[in-house]
Amino acid sequence: MIEFLDPRAEASAPIEPYALSVDPTAGPIVIGLLANGFPDSANFLAHVEKALARELPAARFHHYDKGDASSVVPDPLLETIISECGAVVAAYGH
């Protein structure tokens, strides 16, 4: 007999719901897509844009790339994103 075990551990902290600070269905919104500099992160976000555009047809998208996966977002780029976008999807990891 084969026994399958679930490798997921039980949560050690209570789950807290994440509340968005912007309602993307309330009207037109600009969503920033921030690539992290890993190979294909920009390509991945192009697919994310297509999926979001199907759900949020009034949304517009701006693409950003921090260019170096080992660094934080430079302040000038961060200021640009903040001034141009109501929400941001950041691709971190690879």
Q: For residue 38, is it within any domain?
A: yes
Q: For residue 16, is it within any domain?
A: no
Q: Looking at the 3D structure of the chain, how many domains does it have?
A: 1
Give pTM, 2 decimals. 0.75
Q: For residue 2, is it within any domain?
A: no
SS3 at position 63:
strand
pLDDT of residue 17: 84
CA pair distance 25, 52, nearest whole angstrom: 11
Contact call for residues 18 and 81 (beta carbons, < 8 A):
no
pLDDT of residue 93: 59
Q: For residue 51, is it within any domain?
A: yes
Q: What is the pLDDT of residues 56-94, one digit of tens each?
A: 999 999 999 998 888 899 999 999 999 999 999 998 755
* 4, 59, 61, 66, 78 from 75: Cα distances, Å: 49, 25, 20, 11, 5
Q: For residue 15, is it within any domain?
A: no
1 against 34, higher pLDDT: 34
Q: What is the pLDDT of residues 17-62, one digit of tens each?
A: 877 788 877 888 999 999 998 888 999 999 999 999 999 999 999 9
pLDDT of residue 11: 81
pLDDT of residue 94: 58
Contact call for residues 35 and 63 (beta carbons, < 8 A):
yes
